[in-house]
Structure 1
Amino acid sequence: MRPRCRAKRSACGANRGCAFEFVRFWRPERRPRFPPHHRVGVRDAIRASSARVPRCSHPCRNPRTAATSRVRSRFGNRPINKRDSVLEGLAILDAGGNLGLLADVNTLQRDGVFVPFFGHLACTTRSVAMLALRTNALIIPICCVWDTNRYRILIGELVEAVRTASCAKKNIIDTTALYTAEIEKFIRAYPGQWIWIHRRWKTRPSGQPSLY
């Protein structure tokens, strides 16, 4: 873990779990090297740091996909079945482990909340916030970018789950908005490396027209 991130985590409690919020830039195969992480699907995350760390994925049917998975697993990033990821993810964070999630893509309205993203409301999974609220985990925005002749790991500001509102949904929305703002900072710094084809603003609030 980088010194800045380590110092912040120590200040907040070293035994707490960390939910690493990865951003989908065009350098995916470097991320498993730093840090070892679990990877849980967006919907399934709703339902200890070590060298052997699972990541959530669908069962491999294509031999080429299976080969890619084996390469990723070389650095302690072993896959777990998405169908079994929820309870395991909660257990990992409860035990003070690391959990990697991807939450920078559009989600269905039933699975997400709307938060600002580049000046428009974007339907964002509520899973990251829910996990952090349930386990008292820290949310650490992180990404890997190509900068000149090297890869760089960027770590955003650590996000504490918001617990100020009496309404649970309001806490989820506020927490989601905080880490989404950190994701936006990454993308603004390296706009050419984010995967824009995901149609991030596809799901719209009721009554609003499509942006596509």
Structure 2
Amino acid sequence: MQNQNQNQVNTQPPAMLNRNHGGHEMFDMHEVLSGMISVLDQFMIYRPLVQDKELLSILDRQYNFILSQYNLTAECFTTGQKPSQETSTYMMQGTTQVNYGLTPTQPKKPNQSLNDVKDAGISGYMLGLIKTCASLLTMSAVEVVNPVVRRVLASQVQNYIEMAYEIFLYQNKHAYYQVPQLATSDIQLMLNTYIPSPGNPQLPNNSSGGLQ
């Protein structure tokens, strides 16, 4: 009789608290959380190889921020409810000045050993990871049906954009990521390609007559 009661307990359906996710959402969230773990693990691997203190500071700040956001994302996904901590805003440090133009650099080739891994490469790997996660969060946020989880994902997109821009600025300052420009005449031509709409468009009437 005791075993029968135990079986009845084990076969009870999960609490509705954990049933407020769609099927497609479950797969998306597993991909998002796995992606965050991948970024954190890769940053940990890169850390001993970083030589520049400025890049190390960026890596540590971004690691700690991503870890905090991972924790609250995992929490709200598991419970389907508002996490115990609010989502944060990532604030990058330093200037936002961009250097335009190209300067000669050494030709690039695959590393021949770990001794060839330098800050230029590490910062590039970091940028690729952050940009990938930003895209994944954006695509997943529009597929999630749970309102809390959707908001948590959407609120993080801007943070990953900010982190990616911070890494880009570091690379640009050291000529790791150069920004070529078009000729002045071409820039002006393309800037003037589009103009604001002059007024309110006259939309055609809808023949269905709307709701009956």
Range into which the TM-score falls when normalised by the shorter chain: under 0.3
Instruction: Please state which structure has a larger fraction of its residues in strand.
Output: 1
Higher-Rg structure is 2
Which one has a larger percent helix, Structure 1 or Structure 2? 2
Normalising by structure 1, we get a TM-score of 0.23
Q: What is the TM-score with the length of structure 2 in the denominator?
A: 0.23
